[in-house]
């Protein structure tokens, strides 16, 4: 047990140096708190993982890539750090039956469908879809949206959690997408730059294995055999780690156990995703006749840079370019059941299966793609012991689970990370805001 210990020297130990942990640390540091950040990996960022290549105009994002909507939390950092955030062209092509067709009202259709989800009761989104009289094309698009955008399984995710509000319907900027030209890790560097070096220590390669606590006293033990003691702890554990079996690597034992969190953890699910980036020797999709040969173009669509391409492919149903920036990169994205199918082929075969999907969706011969391929980049987030998946989503009946996971315990244990955000689940903005919320709770306490 904790026993009679001498007075602790640190005010707070923060578990995880991702966006949530660094945001919490920055605000705690500004309040004069003495901090130690324990990060299991040898790098900052968590599920932000940016690769910088000197011969590319853009970095390669193996994890988080987009800013979703005109989100004030993230854009405040963009402006303060003088970062370049540019808006993506909002064009979505649908690849089916040997042709491409522009979906000019993609977000409007999804918002209208989400608004039809009943305010009372709950069921899976798949069950909700079955109850709706919809054209097959809209039904497939909706399922692809939920499994791709939310990295969720349509038969597990709470339909109620997807219901759009009247405010979302009226917000003209809510569906905009932005990319950071500097790379998402620039946000991390800005957060870290605000830490007081006299009061803050960051330890990399320090996986936490055990947390023993009582009110006002926490002992955090790592796999290296070290122990850090503080008055409080802020935990930014991903939902995949929360849900992992105790014997699996990367998990944390609590003494005493956090029984109050079990219901929340049971009602939150781990999103599955495979993101794969192919670098080609040339941007063949930017050739003047590339889209023209695949689509019936209307005058208003001519000259529009190719951005998102959606399909019903079983393995990689979504692809995007770096438009409006010209870079020889194509990103494939599989979420939910498509990610499960792709992961089942084995890591060594994923790139091969993804190229097959790209060949089908872009109506190109596989040998043409092979001849142009320069390199392949991906990170297996499911097998990563410190993430064990993508981001969280609410299971059926999971209303309030994010808030329950976020609730502090005895003014000593505080919780952050996108899984503790109700309105910005699965986003960097949600992680940052949750870290700041945990810091405010700790400082007030």
Distance CA 50, CA 296 (A): 37
Between residues 7 and 288, the one the model is more confident about:
288
Nearest alpha-carbon partner for 175 in 87, 76, 304: 87
Residues 238 and 344 in one domain: no
Distance CA 140, CA 267 (A): 26
Where residue 167 falls among pLDDT bands split at 50, 70, 90?
A: very low
pLDDT of residue 39: 98
3-class DSSP assignment, residue 6 = coil
Least confident window among 19-28, 105-114, 149-158, 395-404: 105-114
Q: 409 pLDDT exceeds 80?
A: yes
Q: 8 pLDDT exceeds 80?
A: no
Give strand pairing partners of 92.
308
Residue with tokens 């602790």: 8
Residues 373 and 408 in one domain: no
Residues 314 and 283 in one domain: yes
Q: Is residue 55 part of a domain?
A: no
Distance CA 361, CA 338 (A): 15
Q: Is residue 77 part of a domain?
A: no
Least confident window among 286-295, 316-325, 326-335, 363-372: 286-295
Q: Tens digit of pLDDT for each residue in 203-224?
A: 999 999 999 999 999 999 999 9
Residues 141 and 280 in one domain: yes
Residues 279 and 369 in one domain: yes
CATH number of 416's domain: 3.50.50.60
pLDDT of residue 5: 53
Where residue 76 falls among pLDDT bands split at 50, 70, 90?
A: very high
Q: 38 pLDDT exceeds 80?
A: yes
The mean pLDDT value for 251-260 works out to 95
Overall domain count for the chain: 2
Nearest alpha-carbon partner for 333 in 278, 284, 268: 278
Q: Is residue 81 part of a domain?
A: no
Q: Is residue 383 part of a domain?
A: no
Q: Report percent pLDDT > 90 for the chain.
A: 82
pLDDT of residue 174: 64
- In contact, 111 and 164? CB cutoff 8 Å: yes
Where residue 105 falls among pLDDT bands split at 50, 70, 90?
A: confident
CATH number of 333's domain: 3.90.660.10
Nearest alpha-carbon partner for 250 in 240, 265, 260: 240
Where residue 175 falls among pLDDT bands split at 50, 70, 90?
A: confident
Give strand pairing partners of 269.
393
pLDDT of residue 298: 65
Residues 143 and 263 in one domain: no
Two structure tokens written together for 227:
């122990």
**What is the residue range of 21's domain?**
10-48+183-267+399-444
Residues 228 and 255 in one domain: yes
Q: Tens digit of pLDDT for each residue in 285-319?
A: 999 889 988 987 665 556 678 999 999 999 999 99
Write out the DSSP string of 189-201.
HHHHHTS-TTTEE
Q: Which of 324, 343, 378 is the last residue of a domain?
A: 378
Burial class (CB in 10 A: 0-12, 13-18, 19+), 247: exposed
Q: What is the DSSP letter of 124?
A: B
The mean pLDDT value for 91-95 works out to 92
Q: 172 pLDDT exceeds 70?
A: no
Distance CA 188, CA 75 (A): 13
pLDDT of residue 355: 98
Q: What are phi and psi of 392, to 5 degrees?
A: -90, 160
pLDDT of residue 166: 43
Q: Cis peptide leading into 256, omega within 30 of 0?
A: yes
Residues 169 and 196 in one domain: no
pLDDT of residue 104: 83
pLDDT of residue 303: 64
- 96 Cβ contact partners less than 8 Å away, ≥ 6 residues apart: 137, 311, 312
Q: Is residue 340 part of a domain?
A: yes
Strands 92-96 and 99-102, by their bridges, are: antiparallel
Nearest alpha-carbon partner for 271 in 87, 171, 148: 148
The mean pLDDT value for 112-121 works out to 92
Longest dimension (CA), the chain: 77
């Amino acid at each position: 047990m904790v026993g009679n210990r001498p007075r602790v020297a640190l005010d707070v130990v923060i578990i995880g140096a991702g966006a949530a942990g660094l945001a919490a640390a920055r605000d705690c540091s500004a309040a004069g708190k003495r901090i130690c950040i324990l990060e299991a990996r040898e790098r900052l960022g968590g599920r932000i993982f940016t690769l910088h290549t000197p011969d590319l105009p853009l970095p390669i994002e193996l994890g988080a890539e987009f800013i979703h909507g005109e989100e004030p939390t993230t854009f405040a950092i963009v402006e303060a750090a003088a970062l370049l955030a540019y808006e993506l062209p909002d064009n979505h092509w649908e690849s089916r039956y040997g042709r491409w067709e522009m979906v000019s009202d993609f977000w409007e259709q999804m918002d209208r469908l989400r608004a039809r989800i009943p305010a009372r009761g709950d069921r899976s989104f798949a069950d909700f879809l079955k109850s709706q009289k919809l054209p097959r094309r809209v039904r497939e698009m909706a399922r692809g949206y939920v499994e791709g955008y939310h990295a969720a399984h349509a038969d597990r995710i709470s339909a109620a959690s997807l219901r759009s509000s009247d405010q979302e319907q009226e917000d003209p900027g809510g569906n905009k997408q932005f990319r950071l030209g500097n790379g998402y890790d620039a946000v991390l560097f800005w957060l870290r730059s605000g830490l007081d070096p006299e009061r803050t220590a960051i330890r990399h390669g320090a996986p936490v294995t055990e947390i023993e606590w009582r009110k006002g006293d926490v002992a955090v033990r790592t796999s290296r055999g070290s122990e850090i003691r503080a008055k409080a702890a802020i935990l930014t554990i991903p939902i995949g780690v929360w849900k992992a079996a105790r014997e699996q690597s990367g998990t944390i034992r609590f003494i005493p156990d956090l029984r109050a969190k079990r219901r929340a953890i049971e009602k939150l699910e781990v999103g599955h995703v495979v993101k794969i980036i192919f670098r080609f020797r040339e941007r063949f999709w930017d050739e003047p006749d590339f889209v023209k040969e695949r689509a019936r173009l209307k005058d208003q669509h001519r000259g529009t840079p190719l951005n998102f391409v959606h399909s019903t492919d079983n393995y990689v149903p979504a692809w995007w370019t770096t438009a409006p920036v010209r870079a020889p990169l194509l990103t494939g994205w599989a979420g939910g059941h498509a990610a499960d199918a792709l992961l089942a082929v084995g890591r060594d075969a994923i790139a091969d299966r993804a190229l097959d999907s790209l060949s089908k969706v872009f109506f190109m011969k596989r040998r043409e793609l092979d001849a142009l391929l320069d390199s392949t980049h991906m990170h297996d987030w499911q097998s990563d012991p410190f993430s064990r998946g993508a981001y969280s989503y609410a299971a059926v009946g999971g209303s309030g689970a994010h808030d329950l996971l976020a609730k502090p315990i005895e003014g000593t244990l505080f919780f952050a990370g996108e899984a503790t955000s109700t309105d910005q689940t699965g986003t960097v903005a949600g992680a940052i805001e949750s870290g700041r919320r945990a810091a405010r709770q700790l400082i007030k306490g």
